[in-house]
Amino acid sequence: MSRALHASEKKSGTAEGPGGPLGAPQWAFMGAPEGSNAILWNSSSSSSSRRYLKEEGERGAPLLPRIGIKGTGEVCNRESEGRAEEKFNRNNARKQRQLEELQQQQHQQLVQQASNRKKRYIPPKEYWYSGHHEPPNALTAAALGSRDLKFVLMREARRIRMGGELDLSVWEALESRAAAICSSSSSSSSSKVAAKTILRFLQSFAAVQLPIKPKHLEDMLTAIAKRKAEMRPENYVHLFQALARLRVRHRICILGLQEMILSWGVLRNNFLIKAANSLSKLDLSSHVLVTPLKLMLAKRLPTFTGKQQQQQQQQQQQQQQQQQQQQQQQQQQ
């Protein structure tokens, strides 16, 4: 009878355990302790396992524990990537702000250093005439560049005015070289000579007051006329002075007066007087383009004062300011 019971239990795949009847297959008791009443299930009987799985599926019981839901891994990855990107953007923005603050600090330091740095004023006499100077000869004068020629002409003109000996051949060589530089700069755009440099040439020749060849003078004045955009109001005053000393009335004077119609008010009083004297020497005082200069002189003549009067006025202004400060301090007390 025990053999029949054992056979029926083996066939049905059930056994009596400590918790009641067991209808699960053997894999449900994998790892059961030794000595338990669980009966080992024969793995070859696949029909019983299919039947058990079907019954469990109909009852709705979970067959196997599910580790996760489909798609949750992708969502987590996207969320983690988004958080990483936000963190990167925050760090980048913070570093950018720090960099901007550092740049502003450096800029402020540079501005402060530039404002604190005292620029040394170089007087014109020291700039033009300091250092050793050797008078050139005809050969060296013909090979000078524009900058070197400018300094040589200024020093030679000063030496001659101070009573030095004039070598006419050297002076003519300097004049020819200046005219050649002006003509080459006018014809080709590769050689750039500033209008101030050409004006220095003309001022040097005018200081000695020797007659210049008409061709050379025309080359220099044409080069200045082509560079009228570089000319400032005070430069036109220097041009009028040079032409007055050379006693040359040229059409460039009319061009200069046209450019200066609205610019007389920018000049200081001493420049207005120099311009008026030069134009009167050139017999242009009655020209209609000189009318703005006349009006400006008539407006400023009542305010013309000497150095002593200016000093007295400055002292009076300082005294008035001190009195006002004392009164304000007394009122505050």
Model confidence over 92-151: pLDDT tens digits? Answer: 888 999 999 999 998 888 888 877 766 778 888 888 888 888 889 989 998 999 999 999
Q: Which of 38-42, 171-175, 231-235 has the lowest mean pLDDT?
A: 38-42
Rounded CA separation 128/153 (Å): 10
β-strand pairing of 20-22 with 15-17: antiparallel
Q: Of 191, 174, 273, whose CA–CA distance to 227 is shortest?
A: 191
Q: 56, 24 in Cβ contact below 8 A? A: no
List all residues 6 or more positions away from 223 whose beta carbon is below 8 Å from its beta carbon: 182, 183, 185, 186, 193, 195, 198
Place 12 in a pLDDT band, splitting at 50, 70 and 90: very low
How many whole angstroms separate alpha carbon 71 and alpha carbon 220? Answer: 88
Within the chain, how many helices (H) and strands (E) appear?
Answer: 14, 2
DSSP 3-state assignment of 251?
A: coil
**The pTM is what?**
0.58
Using the predicted structure, report yes or no on whether residue 17 has a pLDDT greater than 80. Answer: no
